[in-house]
Structure 1
Amino acid sequence: MPTRITFVVDNPVDVQAFENTYENVLNTARTLPGLQRLESARVWPKEDGTPTPAHRTLDLYFGGYQDASAAVTTAPAGELFQLLVSTGTPFTALFSDVEE
């Protein structure tokens, strides 16, 4: 069963500074061994213009749990986490089975 690692990134204090670093995040994520697909999305604000609890999502798809687990032990994964941490913006990472 395919496995997805999802990063849910909170709203940054400085959106432009975050976005400047985010391109490096994407480029690094693309180097993860076993990565089959990457989806990045920017979260829309609420209808009244106020922010939602998240600014971005990043979904990384792997062939299965073992592949995803192996990928996060590599140097590129360490660099990916360091880049995200360096933005100063909190994030959550989730592993999940892709059912459909």
Structure 2
Amino acid sequence: MTTKITLVVDNPADPDAFERAWPELVAVARTLPALQRLESAKVWPKEDGTPTPAHRTLDLYFDSYDDASAAVATAAAGDFFGRLGATRTGFTGLFSDVEA
């Protein structure tokens, strides 16, 4: 069954700097072994001008939980998470079993 890793990226202190770094982060994420598909999304601004609950999401799809778990233990994942950490922007990571 397909496993998805979702990263919910918090609102950065400097959105413009984060957006400049994002394409390279996505490119590094694409190097994760056994990655089947990747979806990057930017959260819409709220109409009332209040802060969004998050800035971006990144969904990484793998054929199995074992493949996803193995991928996050690789040097490519270390590079990705190191670069994400360098943006000084928090995130939440979720492993999910895709049902539909």
TM-score interval (norm. to shorter): over 0.9
* Deviations 1:15-50 (CA, angstroms, capped at 9, x unpaired): 111011111110000000000000000001112122
Distance 2:95 2:24 in 1: 22
Give the partner amino acid of 2:88. G
Q: Which runs of 5+ in 2 are unaligned?
A: none
Give the partner amino acid of 2:7. F
Q: Which runs of 5+ in 1 are unaligned?
A: none
Give the partner amino acid of 1:93. G
Superposition pairs of residues 6-17 of structure 1, within 5 angstroms:
6-17=6-17
Aligned to 1:22, what secondary structure does the other structure show? helix
Matched, 1:51 2:51: yes
Scaled by the length of structure 1, the TM-score of the pair is 0.97
Aligned to 1:99, what secondary structure does the other structure show? coil
Distance 1:17 1:47 in 2: 23
Distance 1:32 1:76 in 2: 6
Scaled by the length of structure 2, the TM-score of the pair is 0.97
What is the aligned length?
Answer: 100
Between the two proteins, what is the percent identity of the paired residues?
Answer: 68
Partner of 1:99: 99
Give the partner amino acid of 1:53. P
RMSD, matched Cα: 0.7
Shift of 1:4: 0.3
Shift of 1:75: 0.5
Aligned to 1:36, what secondary structure does the other structure show? strand
Give the partner amino acid of 1:58. L
Distance 1:50 1:41 in 2: 19
Structure 1 consecutive aligned stretches of length 4 or more whose deviation exceeds 3 Å: none
Give the partner amino acid of 2:94. L
